[in-house]
Amino acid sequence: MFKNRNRAWKKVPTTPEQWEAAAKLMKIRRQTVHKRFDLNSGSKLTKGEYLLLKVLWKTKNTKDISALDLGLYLTTARQLLGDNAEFQAFIQGIDGMKNGDGGEMSNMGAFKIPFSQIKEVLRLLDIPKPKTCTKNDGAGRRIRETHLLEGVNEDLVNMAAISLLTAINLENVNGPAGWSPHRAPFFANFKRATMEAQVDGFFWAGNSTKTSILLEAKAGQRARHEPAVSIQEAAEVVAWLMANPPIKPAANRAFLVSSDGSEWFLSLANYTPVYQEYMLGERNTLPREEFLVMDQYGPWETREIGELRSFLEIMLAIMLRAREEAEEPESASSSS
């Protein structure tokens, strides 16, 4: 049975039928998250605990984001970045890396720092990570050696992502708004247990303490971290919607940006008021067909300037919409 359970978890469930099958294998079909007396943190969530969150992942394997309905925001984003000489110098610098060109950083302005950080991430990604080894001092004591920058790590990827998204915001989004590198903990307080999930960054706008854009970073390609990374990201979204319930028009959706090595993914979390009410403990039962659905788009590759430009245009469009929504009075929002 143990082997069968592992086989069922090469990927997270993508359909209600797969969820039912996995829940049956894990023997949790009749359990609820509200009856658990303890829960692991989002990064260490067990597969059984994850299933109780009722999440489905829809991996699109496409860069077509027309379903996100960004409309005029995307048109505006393309125009703003197209007219930004510093951004164009940054893109040209990324393209020049293919030929060993270091790039002319003097023309990059606000993009100078993210360019240097991305350049370092890409360099380290091409270096095979050495095996961790220990030495013996002759007295039976193991000695571990310190090695710096022998391979890319999550902190470097996260720092580069925050710097780049911050430059995009500073140059193009008017008013108070920005990316925070704070590894913010969100707490999902269920009836008997609390689940903590920590994000690697988030976007804030206006005077609101609410956010609808989260960031998660990983050192290498996403496939290397599955299914753990999907479990962790889903836990972050669930904790976010419970700890920081959004107001309309941003209600019932959240964006999660995944910076995985040189790849970018964008996931749109969709859920109904019924799902949120159940997670908040305002409903005793959740219909079988109710799930939090993570629609994942990408990947966009940093080394391919066409893909990188397209991804950053999308991100700017999402930021512009979030900034506009932050300006809308709550009373007007709740009636929409």
pLDDT computed for residue 313 by the predictor: 99
| Whether the predicted pLDDT of 135 surpasses 80 | no
- In single-letter form, the type of residue at position 52 comes to L
Residue listed under structure tokens 């991804």: 311
Q: How far is CA 115 from CA 85, 89, 95, 243, in A?
A: 14, 10, 11, 34
CB 50 within 8 A of CB 12: yes
Compute how many other C-beta atoms are within 10 angstroms of the C-beta atom of residue 145. Answer: 8
Q: What is the mean pLDDT of residues 176-190?
A: 93
Backbone torsion region of residue 61, taken as left when φ is above 0, otherwise alpha when ψ lies between -120 and 50, otherwise beta? left
Confidence of residue 140 (pLDDT cuts 50, 70, 90): low
Cis before 273 (ω within 30): no
The answer for residues whose C-beta is within 8 angstroms of residue 295's C-beta and 6 or more apart is: 58, 60, 67, 267, 268, 269, 270
Label residue 40 exposed, middle or buried (CB < 10 Å: 0-12, 13-18, 19+).
middle
CB 160 within 8 A of CB 215: no
Taken in order of first residue, the domains within the chain and their CATH numbers are 31-71+156-327 (3.90.1570)
pLDDT computed for residue 329 by the predictor: 64
DSSP string, 259-313: EETTEEEEEEEE--HHHHHHHTTS-S---TT--EEEEEEEEEETTSHHHHHHHHH
Q: What is the mean pLDDT of residues 203-212?
A: 80
pLDDT computed for residue 203 by the predictor: 94
DSSP string, 10-67: SS---SHHHHHHHHHHTT-TT--GGG-S----GGG--HHHHHHT-EEEEE------GG
Percent residues over pLDDT 90 in the chain: 71
- Sign for the CA dihedral angle at 326, 329, 332, 333 comes to positive
Q: How far is CA 143 from CA 132, 133, 136, in A?
A: 12, 9, 6
pTM of the predicted model as reported, rounded to 2 decimal places: 0.89
| Whether the predicted pLDDT of 144 surpasses 80 | no
Confidence of residue 130 (pLDDT cuts 50, 70, 90): low
Q: What is the mean pLDDT of residues 288-306?
A: 97
Residue 234 or 11, more confident = 234
Q: Which two tokens stand for residue 32?
A: 């609820």
Segment of 136-145, 252-261, 262-271 carrying the highest mean pLDDT: 262-271
The answer for residues whose C-beta is within 8 angstroms of residue 161's C-beta and 6 or more apart is: 200, 201, 215, 217, 257, 259
| Whether the predicted pLDDT of 134 surpasses 70 | no
Confidence of residue 3 (pLDDT cuts 50, 70, 90): very low
Residue 280 or 137, more confident = 280
pLDDT computed for residue 137 by the predictor: 56
Measured CA to CA, the distance from residue 4 to residue 25 in angstroms comes to 8
Q: What is the mean pLDDT of residues 314-326?
A: 93
Burial call 50-65: b when 16+ CB within 10 Å, e when fewer: bbbbbbbbebbeebeb
pLDDT in tens, 303-316: 999 999 999 999 99
